[in-house]
Amino acid sequence: MAKSRTQYTCKECGKTAVKPMGRCPQCGAWNSMQAETVERRARARRSTKRTVEKHLRLIEVEGHGEERLNLPIDEFARVLGGGVVPGSVVLIGGDPGIGKSTLLLQMAMQMAQDGRVLYVSAEESPQQIKLRARRIDADNEIPPDLYMLSETDLDAIMEHMRTLEPRLAIIDSIQTVHLPDIESGAGSIVQVRESAQQLQALAKQSGAAVFLVGHVTKEGAIAGPRVLEHIVDTVLYLEGDLYHAYRLLRSVKNRFGATSEVGVFEMSAMGMREVDNPSEAFLAERVVNAPGSAIAVTMEGTRPLLVEVQGLTSPTSFGHPRRTANGIDFNRLLLTIAVLSRRVGLRLSDQDVFVNVVGGLRVNEPAIDLAVAAAISSSVRDVPVPADLALIGEVGLSGELRTVAQLPARLREAAKLGFRRVVIPKSARLTEELPQEIETLPARSLQAALKIALDKS
Ligand code: TYD
Ligand code: MG
């Protein structure tokens, strides 16, 4: 018998409660508990039949090995860990307009070359999607095995998946589809969670790979909460800012590959274009020998990336000095400024400080600290950092330069791009030989590193 009741679900973490609450008892978020009407579980679960599985010895499990569907978009395949895994569910999040639908349509067109692909759009009409397909690839025929479906009812979508048996299905987006059995509206936590669970079950059962587009909330998380991240196999974020062409596809969870792997794209007039040499692209507009610029070598997953950090200081006009961080963590900027004033003796208390990572890139790695400090000092002293010098190192609270992971890979990338010298932490305890093609200048402290970078010898 179907009976409905009201429950309260946290939109941040998915915690459920029977009574309304101002604050989530699990994650502590305020005003996050939303009322939802849920039908008794028995009805919602109707379609997942209960079967009793036999237990198995692990050695008896039939191995599928590394079976992956070939995806000719290399940067995308790299983030997935080498290609699309049949039967897996991948969630792609990102700000509106960042290019999720474009990238997935490109993928759909590629994968439909040798198998059926179903693109379910609950947001755009098939005509709009056709226009986009023409725009992305005006020269080639649209593959006949690419199917479109404009539908929001998930039961119907899954019915189409069962009859069409696509190797790849794309649901754009998970927040716009709904299960009619569940009373709460599309996009609610219960809907999103149940929908994802049913799609996950269908993917496993049918072997189709399923890609879900997830909208992102103001806070930057995929809406329809963390629980979604637990259900799916892989979570990717497409990042970048709308005023720059570069887009980074980052994996934050991957059951079938390394996390924090990054693919770099550029939004062009003809869809998302792969960037083969990202370091070169990020340094393309650099003005050499200009004060306030320093080159850092960061790691994005397993890939080293050279980025330009710009610093600008100018005298504060109203009492309280301003600090602005673009592309690096604000608190790390404050820390670096504090170390510069206390340990290096740079006077910044009456200076506004602006720091920017060029290209709209966001770097969360402390290895960029030294370049940030050098860019600021270079601006204050109006002395440029030499054009052939790169800087690597985390800055500690006592002004010491701390070592960073994967130094050899970083050094090789810097050498490849024509840098001849690089400042590294002296404490770098090395398990690998450092590459010979670039000169390393070890420094124990931030002060020593800045002396190398900014004092003419
Ligand atoms: P879209 O893929 O619709 O973003 P999302 O699905 O993440 O919301 O991308 C939309 C933006 O991309 C839009 O502002 C237009 C731009 N765009 C291009 O610059 N070039 C192209 O070839 C296409 C298809 C879109
Ligand atoms: Mg879209």
The closest-lying atom of ligand 1 relative to the alpha carbon of residue 105 is 2
Task: Classify residue 62: in a domain, yes or no.
Answer: no
Confirm or reject: Cβ of 138 under 6 Å from ligand 1.
no
Report CA(413)–ligand 2 centroid distance (Å). 35
Burial class (CB in 10 A: 0-12, 13-18, 19+), 408: middle
Q: Are residues 136 and 207 in the same domain?
A: yes
Task: Copy the structure tokens of residue 300.
Answer: 């994005």
- Domain match, 222 and 317 both: no
pLDDT, position 10: 80
**Alpha-carbon span 223 to 230, nearest angstrom:** 13
Burial class of residue 373 in the structure, from the number of CB atoms within 10 Å of its CB (0-12 exposed, 13-18 middle, 19+ buried): buried
Domain check: are 146 and 196 in the same one? Answer: yes
Listed residues 211, 241, 276: the one ending a domain: 276
The pair phi, psi for residue 332, each rounded to 5°, is: -70, -35
The pLDDT value given to residue 210:
97
Per-residue b or e along 325-336, where b marks 16 or more CB atoms closer than 10 Å to that residue's CB: bbbbbeebbebb
Give all strands of the β-sheet with 234-239 in edge-to-edge order.
146-149, 117-121, 168-172, 209-215, 89-94, 234-239, 246-254, 262-268, 271-274
Taking the centre of ligand 2 as the mean of its atom positions, its distance from the CA of residue 96, in whole angstroms, is: 7
* Helical packing angle, 369-381 and 446-454, nearest 10°: 50
Question: CA-CA distance, 122 to 129, in Å (whole number)?
Answer: 11
Indicate which atom in ligand 1 lies nearest the CA of residue 102.
2
Question: Both 145 and 171 in a single domain?
Answer: yes
Residues 6+ apart with CB under 8 A from 447: 343, 344, 399
Closest to 94 (Cα-Cα) out of 222, 233, 199: 222
| Contact by Cβ (8 Å): 102, 275 | no
Which ligand 1 atom lies nearest to the CA of residue 124?
3
User: How far does the centroid of ligand 1 lie from the alpha carbon of residue 97, in Å?
Assistant: 6
Choosing from 132, 267, 272 the residue with most ligand 1 atoms within 8 A of its CB, the one to mutate for a pocket test is 267
For residue 146, the number of C-alpha atoms closer than 13 Å in the C-beta half-sphere is 20
Cα–ligand 1 centroid distance for 132 (angstroms): 9
Q: What sign has the CA pseudo-torsion 275, 279, 282, 283?
A: negative
d(Cα 72, Cα 253) in Å, to the nearest integer? 22
Cα(311)–Cα(355) distance, integer angstroms = 5
Give 3-state DSSP helix, strand, coil % of the chain, rounded to 5. 30, 30, 45
Per the structure, the complete domain to which residue 375 belongs is given by 280-454
* Alpha-carbon span 175 to 193, nearest angstrom: 10
> Shortest CA distance to 391 belongs to which of 414, 409, 357, 412?
414
177 Cα: distance to centroid of ligand 2 (angstroms): 14
For the Cβ of 98 lying below 6 angstroms from any atom of ligand 1, the answer is: yes
Residue 157 to residue 162: CA distance in whole angstroms: 9
Domain check: are 198 and 327 in the same one? Answer: no
The DSSP annotation for 252-265 comes to EEETTS-SS-EEEE
Q: Indicate whether 272 and 290 sit together in one domain.
A: no
| Alpha carbon distance 438, 412 (integer Å) | 8
Mark whether 17 and 79 lie in a shared domain: no
The residue nearest atom 15 of ligand 1, judged by CA position, is: 97
Nearest atom (ligand 1) to Cα of 135: 22
Question: 128 C-alpha vs ligand 2 centroid, how far in Å?
Answer: 11
Same domain, 253 and 290: no
> What's 226's domain CATH number?
3.40.50.300
Shared domain for 242 and 287, answered yes or no, is no
Asked if residue 430 belongs to a domain, the reply is yes
Q: Could you identify the atom of ligand 1 that is nearest to the CA of residue 103?
A: 2
Of 229, 259, 276, the last residue of a domain is 276
214 and 228 Cβ atoms separated by less than 8 Å: yes
Q: What is the pLDDT of residue 389?
A: 95
- Point out the ligand 1 atom lying closest to the alpha carbon of residue 98: 7
Pair (112, 25) in one structural domain: no
313 lines ligand 1 (CB under 6 A): no
Residues comprising the chain, all counted: 457
> Does 321 share its domain with 191?
no
Beta carbon of 46 within 6 Å of any ligand 1 atom:
no
- Supply angle C-alpha 161, 191, 166, rounded to 5: 10
**Number of domains the chain contains:** 3
- Of 276, 291, 319, the residue at which a domain comes to its end is 276
Report whether residue 243 contacts ligand 1, using a CB cutoff of 6 Å: no
215 lines ligand 1 (CB under 6 A): no
Ligand nearest to the CA of 100: 1
Averages of pLDDT over each 10 residues, the chain, 457 residues: 74 81 85 75 54 79 74 92 93 90 95 94 91 87 93 95 96 91 80 92 94 77 67 91 85 85 90 90 85 94 90 91 95 97 95 92 93 97 95 96 92 91 87 82 96 84
Residue 49 in domain: no
* Residue 47 included in any domain: no
- Give the pLDDT of residue 456: 67
Q: Are 90 and 251 in contact (CB under 8 A)?
A: no
Beta bridge partners, 251, equal 236
For 284, residues 6+ apart whose C-beta sits below 8 A from its C-beta are: none
Distance CA 130, CA 122 (A): 15
CATH code at position 315: 3.30.230.10
Pocket lining: 96 vs ligand 1, CB cutoff 6 Å: yes
Please indicate, yes or no, if residue 238 is contained in any of the structural domains: yes
Q: Going by C-beta distance under 8 Å and a sequence separation of 6 or more, which residues neighbour residue 53?
A: none
Nearest atom, ligand 1, residue 213 CA = 6
For ligand 1, what atom is nearest to the CA of residue 104? Answer: 2
Q: State the distance from the centre of ligand 2 to the C-alpha of 215, rounded, in angstroms.
A: 9
Instruction: Evaluate whether residue 385 is within a structural domain.
Output: yes
Q: Residue 240: CB within 6 Å of ligand 1?
A: no
Extended beta strands in 345-417, E state: 351-357, 389-391, 394-395, 401-402
Q: Which of 76, 101, 102, 222 to mutate to test the pocket of ligand 1 (most atoms within 8 A of CB)?
A: 102
Omega before 101 cis (within 30°)? no
Q: Are residues 268 and 414 in the same domain?
A: no
The number of the ligand nearest the C-alpha atom of 102 reads 1
Determine phi and psi for 192, rounding to 5 degrees.
Answer: -60, -45
Ligand 1 pocket residue status of 102, Cβ below 6 Å: yes
- pLDDT of 179 reads 92
Q: Is the CB of 131 under 6 A from ligand 1?
A: no
Decide: 212 and 123 in contact? Cβ < 8 Å. Answer: no
